[in-house]
Amino acid sequence: MSTNSSNHENVLTAVAESIGSTLGALAARARDAKKAVTAEKSTGRRAARRTKTATRPAQKQVAKAGKTALEASGHPAAKLQKTLRKT
């Protein structure tokens, strides 16, 4: 009789482990699905912020080059801007 009860225990333990691992896998998939659905907004914002941060140095360079070119040209608008900055 003892071997029969130990077999039952082994079977019950195996079934319990199987159920537990299945429930854990389902919970993980549900968590991942929730993240996939709710993360879109923040991911889009993050991507926009990264793009803005990455292009900022280039924007500054272009603005500086344009300002230098305008001043070098002797254009009346450049003289006016220079005068307005001084005041």
Tell me which DSSP letter residue 25 carries.
Answer: H
Q: What is the pLDDT of residues 8-64, one digit of tens each?
A: 888 888 888 888 888 888 888 888 887 776 656 667 777 778 878 878 888 787 777
Residue-number span of the structural domain to which 7 is assigned: 2-86
Exposure on the CB side of residue 6, measured as CA atoms within 13 A: 3
Q: What is the pLDDT of residues 57-66, one digit of tens each?
A: 887 877 777 7
Mean pLDDT over 60-84 rounds to 75
Total of domains in the chain = 1
> Is pTM, for the whole model, over 0.85?
no
DSSP secondary structure string, 35-51? HHHHHHHHHHHHHHHHH
Written as one letter, the residue type at 42 is S
